Every structure is written in C-alpha cells, then in structure tokens.
Chain A
C-alpha cells in the first residue's frame, strides 16, 4: 500500500537576525491511509515547522528542502494555486488556540460552510445545511443553534469542535492537528480526543498529530516520532516507543512525567538536566549528549544516524541497546511533617469575591415588556463563593480546577492584590483583609507570588540583577554594599549561574525565567508563596526540574505554598493536601492520598478520569447555573432531586478529608459504599 503522505529528507531553515537556523533536519516519515502518527517534542524541537512545511504556512524567511509527497504529488513543487486547492479540500488542519482561530464577527456555521463553497462549489444553502450536520457529527447537542451562534457564544471545547468540523468539511484524507487540545481543560481535552478517535474510525481519515503531551499522543496515535533539536531521534509504534523507549531523551521525557499519585516529601521527580541547544550541530555528534546521563566520548565523535528497520522501531543512538532506565534521583533526607490544625499560618474563612460585569450607566436596563421599567443589573458573578481553607507553616496546599473556576482569583484575594467582597483572610493571626494597603508592608514581604506566564512576569527593561535587587532595597533587607552578593546567592538558590545577574529576561529560556521569578519571590524572605500555575507554560523536561526546585526550597526554608494548577499530577507531586475547586466553591479537600483514592466527589472523579485518559466524560462545560443547589449538578452523572434545591456543605469523611456532595449523606445511610453510583471505586 502506498503511503498517503510521504515526507522525505525534509529540512526547514529560517533566516534569523543571528544567521540561519535549521529548525528541521532530514526528517522522513510515511503516513498510510487511516493511520495516526504523533510527533512529540518540546518547544523549539521543530515539530510545528514540519506541519508548517506540509501546509506551506512557513513565512517568507523560511526555506524548505526535501520532498513532501501527498497522494502522489510533491506538494513542495506545486504552484501556489494548485497547492491551495489541495489544502482545505484534501488536507484539513486544526491549530492550538480555538479562541482566536475563529473570526469573531462571522457566524460559526458560515465559517464551517466556507471551505465547501470554496473547494466543492456547493451552493451556500446546501453548505449551511451540511455545516449543521457536521456540527452534529462533532457531538454538539444543538447543532442548528451552534451554527447560528457567534464564536464568543461557544465554550472553548465547542469552538475546537467547530474548527474540527470546518477542517473535515471537505472530507479530507489527511487531518493535521498542531497541539489541538493544549489550550483546553483536561475534561474537555478528553472529550476532544475521544471525538478524534471516533472520527478516525468512522471517516478513515489519517491524522498527523503534533503535541508536547505524551499522554495525548498515547491516546490517539498508532505511531509516534520523537523530535529533539531539529532531528527525529526515535520512531516506532506508540506502544513500543512509549512502553519501551530506546533513546535516552524519550526515556527522560517519560520519566519526568509526574505520576498521578501522592508523593512523599523525600522524593523528587527524575528530570533532564540543562536545556535544548539553540543551534544544534548534529554533524559534530549526538545533539542530546550534553544532557544525556549515558553520554561518553564516542557520542561526540561524529554524526549519529537513525537505525532500525524502516517500518519498525528506529532510534538515533548508537548504544540504545546497551543503556538502562533513566536514573532516578536519590531520595532526600527530609522528615515527613505532620501538620496540626490550629496553628495555621494562613486561615481563610468564608471568603467571597464577586465581580460586576457591568458598572455605571451600562448596568441600567430599560425594558418595555409590560410597562416601561428601569432596572439595574450589574451582572454580578461570584468568582470565589464562600471558600474556607487553612495552611500550616511548611505545608503545601494544591488548588485544582478547570479554567474559570476561580482558583487564580482566590490566590489574588489571599494576597490582597484583589480585595475580598466578604469573609476574612488571616495571616499569622492578623486579619489582613481588613487592613488598608499602607498597613500591609509586613504581609507583603512575607507573602509572595510566582506567575504562570514566564513571558510577562519579568520587566523586559530591567536586568536580572536589578529585578532581584529591588525587593532587597524596598524592604531594606540588605545594605547596598551587600546587594550584589545577595543577588548572586539568590541566583544560586534557584540553580542559575551568578553571571545571569547581568542578563536581560529575553536572553533567558522559559525555565530560566521562571527560576528568576522564583528567586525574586524568595528575595523578600517570605514564609508563604502563591504559585499560580508556575510550571504550566514549561516543557515537560523543564517542568520536572522546576517542581523539584520548588520542593527543595520548601524543605530548605520551611515555605508554605498555595500551589494553583489545572494539572492534577503536578499538584499531587508537590502537595501535602489538595483542594478541588469548582465554580468558586471547594468541592473536595483532604490529604493528597485521600483525594486521589476513592471515594471521590463526582467532579474529582471526572478530573482523575480525564487525566488518566480513561473513562470519557460526556458532559459539555455547562452554561450559567441557577443559584441554589449544587453548582456541579448540570454535569453530574449522579445528580438527584436534592441537588437541585440544596447546596451541599463540605461533609467530613474523615479527620482530614471532606467532600461537598449529597452522596456523602446517602452513603452514611447505606452500609455499602458501592451501592452509591458516584462512589463506585475508581478503575
């Protein structure tokens, strides 16, 4: 059988300000009809450039060499007009960000119908009808309504479904997906992946799936290719590559994924030291050898070829058959702490924060329904709705939830960056939420924050040294003469070389910037740090190192973290306790091992299933929910009559574990837990 897509010796070069950069080097692969090939790699590995080269979307500064043969034609030599005709009609594509990929001013249905009119010469009315059918095939409940909607009226998951529908409108033989689920919540991601698997079976479309996420690749693809520093380093069947990786990079990548289980304080994640070379030189030797624990002189003696059977498991490592597993880090000698209630560092009680969607004149509504009436509707939304939690010195509390659940808002209200609507935030015995800004100086020094977005957390105009020296000057912690030394000490604490003092943020990689941001937070000698998704924007290999760093600092300085993340596995790795948040409320809280072991709140169960890429959740993220009753009820598989009327309180399951669900009261009534469907054990 001849392959549908045959890429041979593809090389992509970019002309940058600093010379020519080779993003993809001699990459070859074949994709057969109905097959799904995954391409994994970290940012900068060249994986997206492959998609760009196939689709002809690389900019004017890019130069490609090699053959891209699609259904017998070499795409790279086709004239632009013919190439455009192939794209869209025979090759569909879906990109990462569903929030910007749809034109906000055009109805969704029209955007799906557009390629049909363009490529298939279908009449607009027929195309509109087909668009509704496609939306229905994508599992959207009310497709006609969705087709009439504008993009902002749809959720992220629905937008991505609509984009897949548009990509599939002309029934292409190949669908190229570049990080299609990266911007989505885990529960939504699971649904999209299921949809893709089903579509592949039903329509026998081939998938070229590009992702940094090994779990996602494992779920969708038959074959996988691992990219590192512009080269393909390993290729083979997914089960073989992910089950028994041969290349050291693949081994490291798999090892540095945090397991979905509570971790003792002594343990650290295996990580890949260093970072990917900016301009790799494969002719001089293996590009991975500077980071490879198995490296020896011969690795740098000359170019390393990819070896192995053409259709089987190929690897670019000359001693792949002789190396063992990725080395595990030594457990650290640190005691397991037992946290006692009552001597909390941070005590949050019944905290509420509401936002008004409209203010001033815009809040007034004038209606003519029965008689002219003027009413005021500020569109008030409670982002944090009655949250109570406590944090002991040295303890890490993980806060998990989907985007929009209010977890970041909670972190900012705790830090008094946003002021509460009601409730209280006690820090070290004082209610800081009552104090005016001027009286918070001491609190500000002791409570710090680390952000998600490594691109914007450092001022681009301040050198690293200036950024780190500022907190020292502000709180007068170190006399001016000793500040340079202290800055170097701080850099050392986050495992960065002292010379970085003179650099500017743009000269650092994402992981290094995050380390500087952590050092800046540490500069004030805090006791408590809010970590707002600190590793979500980082590559897997870098993520493990930053998580380890946070764990080291916690043990060294007895820091308390409020660790906010959507990634349950990362949270489990670092946290002593976990709080699961849904729509501004905490629906389950307890020690990490309690939360990850049954019984679960139905929402926690859904989250766990999505992360494990197992049981799919059929329910779409719901729209506004009427107040009163359980906020999760529209998505809950186990909802009962009582859920519509009463909001469940946090019900203690044990001394350390509480769940806010009506099932808990039921469970106490019956003798066996398994009678209640929601609490049937996980797996």
Chain B
C-alpha cells in the first residue's frame, strides 16, 4: 500500500548507503595495512626480544609482546596479509564453482541438478574440519592449499543459496517472457537470473570471507595451513590461549583485528547489496 503511493519521480541525485562508506573505509584500511605491512611494522615479525617477554602494550610495543618477546603489533600486520589472502581466495574459489552449479540447478531442475545437489549435500554432511584435513593431510601444508581446501568446502552453501534464489526467479514472469522470445539458456542465466541473484550472493560472500578466516585459524592451530614462526590472526589467538591469565593482550589484539575485519566486510557486503539494487537507486 505504502509503496504504491510513493512518488515515482526520477531523481539524478544518488544516495549511497552509509554502510557502504563505513565498510569500504574499514576494508580499504585493512588492505592498505596488509600491503604496506613491511613498511609500517616497527619490527620484523619474527624478531625476539627475550628480555621483553610478556610486556604489556606500551609506547615501544603498541600491542605488547608474546611469550618470545615478539612485537604483537608487527605480527598482526604481517598476519593480516595471510588472513585476508586466505579469506578472499577461498571465497573466490567457492563462488567460481558454486554459483554456476547453483544457477544451473535452479534453471533446469531434473536428474542432473538433483544429482549435483545431493552430491553437495553429502559434502555438507561431513564435519568441515575433517573434510579439509582429508584434503590437506596427504600433502605438505601451504597457504594456497589451505585456501583451495576451504574454498571447496564452501561450494555447497554457495550453490544452495544460488539455487534457492534462482528457483524463485524462475517462476517470475520476466523469465517466461524471455523464454517466449526464444532466448538461449546462457542469456537467461547471465542476464535475467544472475543480476537478480547477485545481491544475495554479495551478502553470502562477505560472510564466507569471515568464515574462511576463522576456519583458517582453526587449521593453523591444528598445524595445517600457516607454519610458525609465521602467524595469521587465528594462529596468534590460539597461541595466546595458554597465557590468557597473565598476558591477555596476546590474544586480544588479533581478536579485535578479526572482529574489525568481520564488521568491515559485512558492512561492505550489505552496502553493496543495497547499492546494486536498482530499487534503492533513483526513486525514494
């Protein structure tokens, strides 16, 4: 009712959602820090200061030092490179594989789609850590391999989300109108379905980056993925675990960094969804 009486006047001025600004600012900041880690960091990430073990945050060590006297702030900067690379690579891999599968399954339900979706269900029924370990255990660990493994693990949820949105869209009349013009499948998939699935995928992808960073932390903790003395945020948190009572800052700093990244990426995803949606553009 309310929507029906809204004015439909076209306006040139476009307002961008605030979440896009804030999220974009945080994510851009993190990226710059990750790229310039070498230049910004006051110490090399693996330099030990034996006499300054467990020192609290101070002017010399902004975020304190760990059990070997390594500067946590410097390690945080270098760790951001690993964590962000892991999260983004894993998400991109899962989207590249998951989106086409989901679109196809939504566009053409049938035996093939059913087989794909049930196969993905089987994948989802494995405990995630076990599945990744299965992939990683047989070969020597590396960051890229961890990303690929996590990416594969995230294919089923991406495909499911894509499929459910695509299935809904298939019952829309504009898809039927495209079919009545005799449009080819690729056109319907790419021009009619994908742009309408995209906003939902943006939100899902921003969540997946976050999950990937968290899962990467778990894997590092178990000894797969990042190898000491290098450390991503997850590994730093788990290392600090034993000293939480005497030196809480060891875990606190990477924890806060991860929290900030999560908020930034989620806001960015949300803002992009709104920005990409023509319904939020122009009118209103």
Contacts and interface: CB of A to CB of B under 8 A. Distances in A.
Interface stretch (B5-13, B137-145, B213-221): B5-13
Interface string A485-518: 0000000000000010011101111100000010
Contact of A16 (B6, B174, B195, B277): B6
A520 to B, nearest CB: 7
B7 to A, nearest CB: 4
A453 interface: yes
A503 B279 CA distance: 11
A68 to B, nearest CB: 19
Given A43-B1, A417-B179, A471-B181, A504 B192 contact: no
A18 interface: yes
A212 to B, nearest CB: 12
A508 B176 CA distance: 21
Q: Which of B4, B191, B196 has the most CB of A within 10 A?
A: B4
A578 B149 CA distance: 63
A363 to B, nearest CB: 15
A600 interface: no
Task: Give chain B's interface residue range (CB within 8 Å of chain A).
Answer: 20 to 34
A18 B180 contact: no
Most buried by B among A415, A456, A471, A508: A456
Interface in A7-27: 14, 16-18, 21, 23
A440 interface: yes
Assign chain A's interface to a size class.
35 or more
Contact of B196 (A48, A459, A504): A459
Interface string B182-208: 110000000110011000000000000
A245 B179 CA distance: 47
A437 B180 CA distance: 11
Contacts of A462: 191, 195
Interface string A296-334: 000000000000000000000000000000000000000
A628 interface: no
Given A21-B2, A461-B195, A417 B180 contact: yes
B180 to A, nearest CB: 5
A506 B6 CA distance: 10
A456 B182 contact: no
Nearest to B1: A48
A293 to B, nearest CB: 24
A409 interface: no
Nearest to B175: A459
A675 B83 CA distance: 89
B182 to A, nearest CB: 3
A536 to B, nearest CB: 13
Given A451-B177, A457-B174, A43 B196 contact: no
A575 interface: no
A457 B279 CA distance: 15
Contacts of A43: 1, 4
B180 A449 contact: yes
A681 interface: no
B268 to A, nearest CB: 20
A456 B177 CA distance: 10
B176 A417 contact: yes
B16 to A, nearest CB: 14
A440 B1 CA distance: 42
Contacts of B177: 449, 451, 457, 517, 520-521
Interface of B: 1-2, 4-8, 10, 172-174, 176-177, 179-183, 191-192, 195-196, 277-279, 281-284
Given A49-B1, A460-B277, 10 more contacts: A18-B7, A279-B7, A444-B182, A460-B279, A462-B191, A503-B10, A503-B282, A504-B278, A504-B279, A509-B8
23 contacts: A16-B284, A17-B284, A18-B283, A21-B6, A49-B1, A444-B181, A444-B182, A445-B181, A451-B176, A456-B174, A459-B192, A459-B195, A460-B196, A470-B181, A471-B181, A475-B181, A503-B10, A503-B282, A504-B279, A504-B281, A506-B278, A506-B283, A509-B4
